[in-house]
Amino acid sequence: MLLGLCCLPAIIVVFLAGFPLNQVPAASVMASGALTLAFGANKTWGDSSFSLLLTTCVGLAFSSWLGCLTGNVTPVYIAGAMLYAGLYVSLANVDNSAWWMVLQWSIAYLVSGYYAGSLEHAADRAALTGAGGLLQMVFIPGFPAFSVSPQGCQPPFMADVLSRHAA
C-alpha cells in the first residue's frame, strides 16, 4: 500500500549528496539501484527479505556492468537480452520472488546497454547501482514509520491487519 514511501529516504540522501557535488548523473544511477530495491522490500526468498534484496543488489550491479560492456557490440547485446528473457520466462511459474529479481536484472541490463562504454565506465555504473541498492538496504529496516515483515515494508498497524486476514 505505502511501499513507495520506503524508497524516499535513500533517494533523498543520494540526491542531497549529488546536487551540491554537481554529480546529478551519477546520483541518478545510484538512485536507480535504491529505487529497485525499495520495491523488493515486500518480497521474500526462502523466508528472508535480506537474501532476496542482497541477491537482487548483486545481480543489478553485475547486470549493469554486463549491459555497459555488451552494449558496444549489438549482436552480443541482443544475445544477452535473449538470455535474460529466457531466464525470466523460465522462472515465471516457478518462484514469484526469483522471477521479480530476474526482471530487475533484465531491466538493469537493457538500460545499461544504452549507456555502453569502456570497462572503467561499466565498473563505475555497476558500483553506483550496487551502492544505491546497498544504501536502500540500510534504510528499509530503519525507516521509522515502517517495519519490514513477510508482508513487506508496511506501517506497523498494517502488519497486524494483514496477519489477522491471513489467519
CA pair distance 89, 71, nearest whole angstrom: 22
CA pair distance 155, 153, nearest whole angstrom: 7
Segment 113-134, tens digit of pLDDT = 999 999 999 999 999 999 999 9
Segment 20-66, tens digit of pLDDT = 999 999 999 999 999 888 888 778 777 778 888 899 999 999 999 99
CA pair distance 105, 42, nearest whole angstrom: 17
Count Cβ neighbours within 10 Å for each residue of 55-87 and write b for 16 or more, e otherwise: bbbebbbbbbbbbbbbbeeeeebeebbeebeee
pTM of the model: 0.80
